[in-house]
Structure 1
Amino acid sequence: MNYSLGVVMDPIAQINFKKDTTLALLQAAQDCGFQLFYFEQSHLYLENGRATGRGCPMQVFDDENRWFSLDESREMPLGDLDVILMRVDPPFDNEYVYSTYILEAAEREGATVVNKPQALRDCNEKIFATSFPQCCPPVLVSRDMAKLREFHRTHQDVIYKPLDGMGGAGIFHCKPDGANLGAILEMLTDHGRQQIMAQRYIPEIKDGDKRILVVNGEAIPYCLARIPEAGETRGNLAAGGRGEARPLTDRDRWIVEQVAPTLKEKGLLFVGLDVIGDYLTEINVTSPTCVREIDAAYNTDIGARLMSGITHLLAQKR
């Protein structure tokens, strides 16, 4: 049976063809027979309580010079789509939240939304990881300058970061000498007006910040280790890190086992765990990446695995 799939994403003309995970997922969906429809956040609206969008029928191609084509847009009830992929990159701002409300209405009207809109709102990618303290390094979420300073006195080597960033933006490494600690805390907390995260520094970052992809509660058996440039503490590819695909370790698999039941319970079908050394540091639920790099190294076909899981859910609904 053919299904329809809508994707809500950033402008497709501006993506990086060679690295973009959303494009890889769309190619897999098209290969599985899904009819594709393209939306940006600005194309979504509620009319008399009904979730609606201005969608374009879309085709995707494995061609770096022409990776998509769009037909003329048309108004359509979002609930009539079989599945909707929410793939908009952070920042997780009010517009993102409003989009999840619209997608939640589409869900009530019959669409399956990946990932579940309520879970996207509930699971802040930094704070959600703290739900699994057995997996995490020492961590503090606070806007209290005294508490944040005390965390540094206790742990000496500390990472401070905003709760809504991505790609390594706004991350500061404060070493034992405490140089610039006051300025860092003033800037990140906006002088005590917003919560931030403090995390004990994990020296194994030099060996890579591992992205582990979890599809329907099961780990892809390989990860992408994002290795920082010399002199950097951020492994993010957007911050200049280089990617190296690797098999999961026993500890990686243990962390996935701790987290996976909660992911399934919350309707988080496609998730990226960030692991440094032996520790879980973040749980990416909005638009996990690194599919292309892992696929290229190990022929994993992660998109096909996700589409298989989605097709199974749709068959159960019918």
Structure 2
Amino acid sequence: MHLLFIADPLETFKIAKDTTFAMMREAQRRGHTLAVCEPSQLSWRSGARVHAQVREVALTGRADDWYTAGPLRQVALADFDAVLMRKDPPFDSEYFYATHLLEQAEREGARVFNQPRALRDHPEKLAIMEFAQFCAPTLVTRDAQEIRAFHAEHQDIILKPLDGMGGMGIFRVGPDGLNLGSITETLNRHGAQTVMVQKFVPEIVQGDKRVLLIGGAPVPFCLARIPQGSEVRGNLAAGGKGVAQPLSPRDWEIARTLAPILHARGLLLVGLDVIGDYLTEINVTSPTCFQEIHAQTGCDVAHLFISALEAAVATLP
């Protein structure tokens, strides 16, 4: 297959842990050819197909100079066997517009994973609200009084922006309510922006687990991202320690319930975040942790993913 990866610049990859790199390495190992572009290189001229300025790349197997790249050339997305949207959040207006170009490319015959409409329909924090049976008490609002009432009810809460990533903008407010007003004003911008508020789950000390779903099936190991020191966030980007472990019975329950539903909606790869017994996020833009799980357990997640991608492409017209 000829694969196009739409991603952040290759120069920014940390290949020792980058999941997109692991996908590319496994794809090349199987004989597939690789091309890359950034979302800014997508274009659509009236009366023509959606194109991108792409570079053909080959991985060298070296830690430095880890890839070689050909010259830029313009190619229609529909001419690739598969297009993988792997741009990191935030899901801002430019990401939103990119999904519309990708959806047009689908109408022209492109096979895009995850499907653009599914990316738009599953904002990563809001998406959990559909599955309330698995969630801790949660409030989505821009109203400061509602937030105060939620805190009065639950005492120990987490507040976070809907468009954050990597643990950015996450605050904990305990029973004393210290700085709740200031934090609310910062996050909701005096009522102009919506905030998610959740009851604090003390099991965070055991890790914020990333549970992966591939092709409608759970990966049997997750990565528990454990906060370090006085930090409340387990995100690896916030200094959390990643410890791979088998799924717990509750992890399996959540994963087996959501996997077929999300797969049927066009989501080939999903990363569920689970703290204790509670689902806290559904990540669909560029789920990670492939390499950490593989290194610690021997479970080759990239192998599972490329196999699922091959099967998905084979079933599409």
TM-score bracket, normalised by the shorter chain, equals: over 0.9
- TM-score for the superposition, normalised by structure 2: 0.98
Identical positions, percent: 49
* Counterpart for residue 241 of structure 1: 240
For 1:1-318, what aligned pairs fall within 5 Å after superposition? 3-48=1-46, 49-318=48-317
Helix, strand or coil: the match of 2:21?
helix
Helix, strand or coil: the match of 1:98?
helix
Task: Tell me, yes or no, if the aligned pair for 1:80 and 1:109 is still in contact at 8 Å.
Answer: no
The amino acid of 1:134's aligned partner reads Q
**Cα offset for 1:40?**
0.7
After superposition, what is the alpha-carbon deviation per residue over 1:74-115, rounded to whole angstroms, capped at 9, x for unaligned? Answer: 111111111011011111111111111111111111121110
The amino acid of 1:262's aligned partner reads I
Helix, strand or coil: the match of 2:198?
strand
CA distance in 1, matches of 2:315, 2:240: 41
**Cα offset for 1:317?**
2.5
After superposition, what is the alpha-carbon deviation per residue over 1:38-80, rounded to whole angstroms, capped at 9, x for unaligned? Answer: 1011111111252101111111233211221111111111111
CA distance in 1, matches of 2:53, 2:15: 24
After superposition, what is the alpha-carbon deviation per residue over 1:124-170, rounded to whole angstroms, capped at 9, x for unaligned? Answer: 10000111011100000000111111000000000000000000000
After superposition, what is the alpha-carbon deviation per residue over 1:210-236, rounded to whole angstroms, capped at 9, x for unaligned? Answer: 001110111110010000011111000
CA distance in 1, matches of 2:65, 2:303: 22
The amino acid of 1:266's aligned partner reads R
CA distance in 1, matches of 2:267, 2:78: 19
Task: Tell me, yes or no, if the aligned pair for 1:9 and 1:40 is still in contact at 8 Å.
Answer: yes
The amino acid of 2:309's aligned partner reads I
The amino acid of 1:255's aligned partner reads I
Task: Tell me, yes or no, if the aligned pair for 2:217 and 2:260 is still in contact at 8 Å.
Answer: no
CA distance in 1, matches of 2:285, 2:21: 15
The amino acid of 1:257's aligned partner reads R
CA distance in 1, matches of 2:291, 2:240: 16
CA distance in 1, matches of 2:87, 2:238: 19
Structure 1 residue runs of 5 or longer lacking an equivalent are none
The amino acid of 1:224's aligned partner reads L
Q: In the comparison of the two structures, how many residue pairs are matched?
A: 316
Task: Tell me, yes or no, if the aligned pair for 2:135 and 2:278 is still in contact at 8 Å.
Answer: yes
After superposition, what is the alpha-carbon deviation per residue over 1:168-204, rounded to whole angstroms, capped at 9, x for unaligned? Answer: 0000000000000000000100001111100000000
CA distance in 2, matches of 1:109, 1:309: 23
Task: Tell me, yes or no, if the aligned pair for 1:132 and 1:258 is still in contact at 8 Å.
Answer: no
Over aligned residues, Cα RMSD in angstroms? 1.0
Task: Tell me, yes or no, if the aligned pair for 1:209 and 1:235 is still in contact at 8 Å.
Answer: yes
- TM-score for the superposition, normalised by structure 1: 0.97
CA distance in 2, matches of 1:61, 1:293: 21
Helix, strand or coil: the match of 1:314?
helix
CA distance in 2, matches of 1:61, 1:253: 38
CA distance in 1, matches of 2:79, 2:181: 53
Helix, strand or coil: the match of 1:92?
coil
CA distance in 1, matches of 2:91, 2:141: 19
Task: Tell me, yes or no, if the aligned pair for 1:41 and 1:99 is still in contact at 8 Å.
Answer: yes
The amino acid of 1:47's aligned partner reads R
CA distance in 2, matches of 1:235, 1:241: 5
Task: Tell me, yes or no, if the aligned pair for 1:211 and 1:225 is still in contact at 8 Å.
Answer: yes
- In terms of mean alpha carbon deviation, does 218-227 or 58-67 score higher? 58-67
**Structure 1 moving runs of 4+ over 3 Å:** none
CA distance in 1, matches of 2:135, 2:21: 32
Structure 2 residue runs of 5 or longer lacking an equivalent are none
